[in-house]
């Protein structure tokens, strides 16, 4: 049986494409460190999160410094991230390792920080944990990528990465304001 040379060329091109597709899939799933989300973040009562009485940082979500790293506790609820939405962006210092611990108070949400590798589902009763390092100051979009109800399209926010000196100054101002408020409260009693 004789195979025409054009058929041989097309057969070779088809085999080369198949090998290329398999190599691309293998590299994408193993080579760049993409992994499945596990349950390392733990579990939490969604009802307690909704009522604000978990006895954890989720009762007053925000940025906490733990063991030299920054941990951001975020509660997703219809149709906002707390903190993160509106006039309450998440603020972290540039160059720091940041871990986001996110849970939901009501329904399944998504949590994605644009232009980073942070992208996870947020399930009521589960704590999703993802980490990243923000090297450059700037504002990063924060979006919900899981349909969560009629106003899903409005659920967004931002992560503001500021220079470390500016971040430290802001934290000192916040602590000073809290101390002043406590002193005023004690003086009023």
Between 1 and 86, the higher pLDDT residue: 86
Please give the pLDDT value at position 119: 92
pLDDT 10s digits, 42-85: 889 999 999 989 999 999 999 999 888 999 999 999 999 999 99
Question: Is 187 domain-assigned?
Answer: no
Question: Is 188 domain-assigned?
Answer: no
- The CATH number covering residue 82 comes to 2.60.40.420
Average pLDDT over residues 85-101: 93
Average pLDDT over residues 20-35: 81
Structural domains in the chain (count) = 2
Question: Is 189 domain-assigned?
Answer: no
Q: Using a pLDDT cut of 70, give the percent of the chain over it.
A: 95
CA 118 – CA 74 distance, rounded (Å): 13
Q: Using a pLDDT cut of 90, give the percent of the chain over it.
A: 68
Same domain, 77 and 136: yes
Same domain, 95 and 135: yes
Question: Is 186 domain-assigned?
Answer: no
Burial of residue 134 (CB within 10 Å: 0-12, 13-18, 19+) is buried
Q: Where are the alpha helices (DSSP H) in 27-57?
A: 46-51
- Domain range for 14: 1-34
């Amino acid at each position: 049986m004789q195979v025409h040379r054009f058929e041989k060329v097309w057969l070779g091109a088809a085999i080369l494409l198949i090998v290329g597709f398999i190599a691309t899939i293998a590299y994408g799933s193993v080579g760049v460190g993409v992994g499945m989300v596990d349950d390392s973040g733990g579990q939490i009562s969604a009802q307690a999160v909704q009522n604000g009485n978990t006895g954890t940082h989720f009762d007053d979500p925000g940025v906490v410094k733990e063991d030299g790293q920054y941990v951001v506790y975020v509660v997703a609820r219809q149709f906002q991230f707390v903190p993160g939405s509106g006039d309450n962006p998440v603020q972290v210092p540039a160059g720091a390792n940041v871990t986001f611990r996110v849970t939901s108070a009501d329904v399944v949400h998504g949590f994605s920080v644009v232009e980073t590798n942070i992208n996870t589902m947020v399930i009521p009763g589960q704590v999703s944990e993802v980490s990243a390092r923000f090297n450059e100051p700037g504002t990063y979009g924060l979006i919900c990528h899981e349909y969560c109800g009629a106003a899903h399209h409005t659920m967004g926010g931002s992560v503001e990465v500021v220079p470390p000196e500016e971040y430290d100054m802001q934290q000192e101002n916040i602590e000073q304001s809290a101390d002043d408020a406590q002193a005023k409260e004690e003086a009023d009693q």
